[in-house]
Amino acid sequence: MELSAFPGFLFSVFDRFTVLTVFFTVFALALDYMKRRKKCQNYPPGPRGLPFIGNIHQVDLNNPHLSFAKLWKKYGDVVGVQFGWSNKVILNGYETLKEALVKKSEDFADRPDLAIYKDMTERVGEGIIFARYGQWWKEQRKFSLLTLRNFGLGKKSLEMRIMEEAGFLNKEFEDEKGPHNKIFESQKKAIDFVQEIVTEHKKSWDPNEPRDFIDAFLAEQEKKKNVPGTSFLENNLMGTVLDLFIAGTETTSTTLRWGLLYMMLHPDVQSKVHEEIDSVVGKERKPTLEDREEMPYTNAVIHETQRLGNIVPISLPHQTYRDTEIMGYTIPKGTTIIPNLSSAMFDENIWSTPHQFNPGHFLNSEGKFVKQEAFLPFSAGRRVCLGEQLAKTELFLFFTYMLQQFTFHVPENESRPSYMEAKYGTTLSPLPYRLCAKLR
């Protein structure tokens, strides 16, 4: 190549590079547009997203419920957003959640395929919580509810076991004899723990005399082993047991941590709970579930703890099972739905002091306990928490038994912890705090 031709060669290469760059840029933007364009007319309004990432930059992943609250105020009860190329719809406010989760429960009963779920289901089966809506899920949920009832859900036998566990917890407080840093130890290696239990059961179970849920599942599995398409498979047993284990421990323990924090920060409320416990239960016998009807104030305190603690602020994501409408907007089949439960728990049109700890939210003028429709800590509809009744029983018995035995207060020479900040993870939990538990 002659030296005089070299500049022209460089220009030619540069020109080709520029053309290719422009081509790929236009192609990428066109692809992004096709992926992110609305799939139907009358789609819910929402913020304009950026290419490729959508609206992910507008959501604080450490506090998504707070970001959703801002979007609620700006765009209304039904908000359309995009995370990458995935369309999502956020449902806000009690009336919207009620229409979607209760009135049109089947339309919103499916679950999306998310990577975090896929990893778990590949290891332990679909279970109940993460399973797609369909015959498998219906069969497993029906079986689980029936089996839990057969083994004492809502009965005296289960109440006795809960009180036994509550006694162990109180013993831990008593043995500590000082500021207590942790109320419950974190769950370690839950899958291995459940696998070990299932393995032990398989060595000794009797199909004619099931001892518990696992035995009952194994018996049903044996009965239906030749049924095509049965959901009673071993990996599904692992998934279901793990679901029940996590749902029955994490949410209850976190709620109790919030409850003790509120009692420390509101000694006047704690004092009224003590008075009601002393009046109804006394100090000699242990509380029972039957006492709840005679303890409206304590019941209100527990409910207000769940409301303000906001344990599961955005629930688990749903997915539309078919094309549907909500509050006048069209939602296509397969759209990921985020039920913003916080919006119902803090709805200013329903609660007189939504951001304050106020047991009066659940009491009428006569001091009697009243239910509130907007109280949705367990979600609602077909995907309502399977363990709702168990959780309510546990919360009342644990909380009442602890308050019967102890007075909780802030350690001396320490500043008061705040409940305005929390840590978002599997649940919304209070930041670590120290407390003193004094025997009454």
Token duo for residue 360 = 């009066």
Reference 359, options 347, 369, 350; nearest CA is 369
Q: Count of CB atoms within 10 A of residue 182's CB?
A: 11
Asked whether the CA dihedral 306, 312, 314, 320 is positive or negative, the reply is negative
Give CA–CA dist 294/162, Å, rounded.
Answer: 20
Which letter does DSSP use for residue 234 in this model?
A: H
What domains does the chain contain, in order, with CATH numbers?
A: 56-439 (1.10.630.10)
| Burial class of residue 300 (count of CB atoms within 10 Å of its CB; 0-12, 13-18, 19+) | buried
Reference 144, options 374, 387, 333, 353; nearest CA is 387
DSSP of 22-63, one letter per residue? HHHHHHHHHHHHHHHS-SSTTPPP-PPPBTTTBTGGGS-TTS
Give CA–CA dist 389/107, Å, rounded.
Answer: 25
79 three-class SS? strand
336 three-class SS? strand
399 three-class SS? helix
Report the pLDDT value the prediction gives residue 155, as an integer from 0 to 100.
58
Which run of H or E residues covers position 422? strand 422-424
Which run of H or E residues covers position 342? helix 341-345
324 three-class SS? strand
Report the pLDDT value the prediction gives residue 414, as an integer from 0 to 100.
85
Give me the tens of pLDDT residue by residue for the chain, a chain 440 residues long: 554 554 555 456 556 656 656 655 565 555 555 555 666 789 999 998 888 788 988 898 888 989 999 999 999 999 999 888 788 999 999 999 999 999 999 999 999 887 666 666 666 667 788 888 998 889 889 998 888 888 766 556 677 777 777 776 777 766 666 473 433 344 446 778 888 888 898 888 888 888 888 899 999 998 888 888 888 888 888 888 888 777 777 788 999 999 999 999 999 999 999 999 999 999 889 999 999 999 999 999 999 999 999 999 988 899 999 999 999 999 999 999 999 999 999 999 899 999 999 999 999 999 999 999 999 999 999 998 888 888 898 999 999 999 999 999 999 888 888 877 888 877 899 998 999 999 98
Q: Count of CB atoms within 10 A of residue 32's CB?
A: 18
Give CA–CA dist 38/284, Å, rounded.
Answer: 65
pTM: 0.81
408 three-class SS? strand
